[in-house]
Copies of this chain bind each other. A is one copy, B any other.
Amino acid sequence: MRVLILGIDGYIGWPLALHLLDKGHQVAGLDSYVRRQRVRAIGSDSLTPIATRTDREIILRQSNLFIDRIANTTLDISQDILNAILREIKPDAIVHLAEQPSAPWSMIGAAGAVRTQQQNVIGTLRLLWAMKEVCPDAHLVKLGSMGEYGTPECNIPEGEIPGQCIGELDFDRHCHMKGLPFPKSPGSFYHLSKVHDTHNIIFACKNWGLTSTDIMQGVVFGLNTYDYRTAQLPNEPTVTRFDYDEYFGTAVNRFCTQAIIGHPLTVYGEGNQTRGFLPLKDSLQCITIALEKPPEKGEYRTLNQFENVYTINRLARMVCQVSIGLGLKAEIKHIDNPRIELEKHYYNPAHQKLFDLGYEPITDIQEEITDLIKTLFPYKDRVIKDVILPTTEWR
């Protein structure tokens, strides 16, 4: 399969490219490298020493890549150039990871919010038009977020309002909303950008017959390369980036980083916030399943992509226990929540479709955290302490 990865230099994009090449697919990629700039701009850096752009291109050239380049571009190019790139690559599938991925970054101020919705919403909109004009049969695998749903006090389906929720009662056919998109209640301008994308993509599928899998992904954590059985460290140039700062780091990755430097694990607020989580390896597996088992032509498919739901407290305790088991000092500290979110709530999102398609979680989450801490430990002197704690308030 010819796969074009947008955002190939990112946390998921880079290991996904390697994983797809391993599986015999042909891979091309685009990236603007703006993530590297933004992380530097907030005074942080990837905890793992990642390869330069040139080195990553060399790695890809050694593979069975059908286009031996990573183009240095974004979706912020002219529509003609975007069309020309798709015409050259002729992708069977496009994995779109080229969005601004941080909720707190989108809440810094007007500029952050505008740049987030600009890059994400307008970028995806331009991609949809390019696909319509150049490769309407390609499969768009788009990274959305479980955060699109927010935390409503009801069960969350995978995409549409299901029949069994209200359809089967038949008390008044005109109260049924079966088949309509489940309403979204996102909690940041970043999550809102994903909701906007979702609506634009649904329309493109319905109106033009494009085909798309919209992945509502949970919070990803971990790294892709470490094998603790062989004690192989990810010092090879294939390792992906690893962010732990308040903007681009996510809960578990931040906790593990705090653990290796002996910093208390900082939980925002009560810590009973519940979310879907999955290791990076599972994310790669799931995206690959989505690619290899596409929906019907013209279908818009939603996949809720996560291994299971966990409270932040449970994950913090898990990181704590693992750390202590490894001889590290670790404790949990609750700090004021910079976000506006429910700190205790009902949460029951469906996530059956990927399991039905063959998803098998490849490791238990405790083992993954153990691996991660071992992997990160040699890099503990690279941690920049100042960037970890939250400074951007949601209000």
A173 CB contacts on chain B under 8 angstroms: 153-154
Partner of A161, one of B183, B187, B394: B183
Which of the segments A45-53, A94-102, A119-127 contacts the partner chain?
Answer: A119-127
> A179-193 interface mask toward B, CB cutoff 8 Å, 1 = contact, 0 = none?
011111111110010
Chain A count of residues within 8 A CB distance of the other chain = 53
Interchain CB contact under 8 A, A184 and B199: yes
Greatest chain B CB density within 10 A among A176, A177, A189, A394 is at A177
Q: Given A184-B199, A199-B195, A203-B192, verify A129-B113 contact (CB < 8 Å).
A: yes
CA–CA, A173 and B206, complex, Å: 32
- A175 in the interface (beta carbon within 8 A): yes
Q: Which of A111-140 contact B (CB under 8 A)?
A: 111, 113-114, 117-118, 121-122, 125-126, 129-130, 133
Greatest chain B CB density within 10 A among A130, A183, A395 is at A183
Interchain CB contact under 8 A, B183 and A177: yes
A110 CB contacts on chain B under 8 angstroms: 79, 125-126, 129-130, 133
Say whether chain A's binding surface is mostly helix, strand, loop, or mixed: helix
**CB nearest to A171 among chain B residues:** B169
**CB nearest to A339 among chain B residues:** B207
- A58 in the interface (beta carbon within 8 A): no
> A252-265 interface mask toward B, CB cutoff 8 Å, 1 = contact, 0 = none?
00000000000000
**CB nearest to A109 among chain B residues:** B129
- A166 in the interface (beta carbon within 8 A): yes
Q: Tell me the smallest distance from the CB of A74 to a CB of chain B, in Å.
A: 14
**CB nearest to A204 among chain B residues:** B189
CA–CA, A315 and B163, complex, Å: 36
Q: Given A122-B117, A125-B117, A129-B113, verify A348-B189 contact (CB < 8 Å).
A: no
CA–CA, A133 and B175, complex, Å: 40
Interchain CB contact under 8 A, B180 and A185: yes
Q: Which of A197-223 contact B (CB under 8 A)?
A: 199-200, 203, 206-208
Q: Tell me the smallest distance from the CB of A79 to a CB of chain B, in Å.
A: 5
- A229 in the interface (beta carbon within 8 A): no
CA–CA, A207 and B187, complex, Å: 8
A195 CB contacts on chain B under 8 angstroms: 196, 199
CA–CA, A321 and B194, complex, Å: 48
